[in-house]
């Protein structure tokens, strides 16, 4: 069998950033939802917003066991009169992984916390803006440079 030389178009890294209006008087959940929309954890018009509640639970607890997150997310959604779709443990673990992949959350054993118990703005600047985003922008510039050199 002949091996194909076609490269796969799978990104090594990607990030979505959106600009919304400035934060104003809104509930904590609404602020977290706007943040999730801003960094691509949630899509505009998404009705499945369990990631918002997972993030809220993590913000409310310095460190929390993975099983307790599920219980607190269910409790949080009941208190907010939200439907209980997406509360399966497997889905909550998937949302935790997405938060980890964005360097906002870390896991030690089965205990989760905001990365290094750091301020969110500092995490964004250090991990996302200065590291992750910088490496993506650098690679995109390489493509522009190579195309410019083809002229």
Q: What is the pLDDT of residues 121-141, one digit of tens each?
A: 999 999 999 999 999 999 999
Share of the chain above pLDDT 90, in %: 84
Residue 149 pLDDT level (bands cut at 50, 70, 90): very high
The mean pLDDT value of the chain amounts to 92
Radius of gyration from C-alpha coordinates of the chain: 19
pTM: 0.87
Q: What is the pLDDT of residues 34-83, one digit of tens each?
A: 999 999 999 999 888 999 999 999 999 999 999 999 999 999 999 989 99
DSSP state letters, the chain: -PPP-PPP---S--------PPP-S--HHHHHHHHHHHTTSS-TT-S--HHHHHHHHHHH-SSEEHHHHHHHHHHHHHHTT---TT-SHHHHHHHHHHHHHTTSEEEETTEEEEGGG--HHHHIIIIIIIIIIHHHHHHHHHHHHHHHHT-
Tell me if 44 sits within 8 A of 61, measured CB to CB.
no
């Amino acid at each position: 069998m002949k091996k194909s030389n076609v490269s796969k178009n799978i990104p090594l890294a990607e990030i979505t950033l959106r600009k919304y209006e400035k934060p104003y008087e809104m509930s904590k959940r609404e602020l977290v939802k706007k943040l999730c929309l801003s960094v691509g954890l949630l899509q505009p018009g998404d009705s499945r917003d369990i990631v918002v509640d997972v993030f809220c639970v993590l913000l409310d607890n310095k460190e929390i066991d993975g099983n307790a997150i599920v219980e607190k997310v269910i409790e949080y959604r009941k208190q907010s009169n939200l439907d209980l779709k997406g509360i399966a443990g497997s889905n909550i673990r998937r949302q935790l992984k997405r938060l980890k992949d964005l360097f906002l959350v870390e896991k030690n054993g089965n205990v989760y916390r905001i990365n290094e118990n750091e301020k969110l703005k500092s995490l964004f600047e250090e991990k996302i803006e200065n590291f992750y985003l910088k490496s993506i922008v650098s690679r995109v510039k390489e493509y522009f440079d190579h195309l410019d050199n083809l002229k």
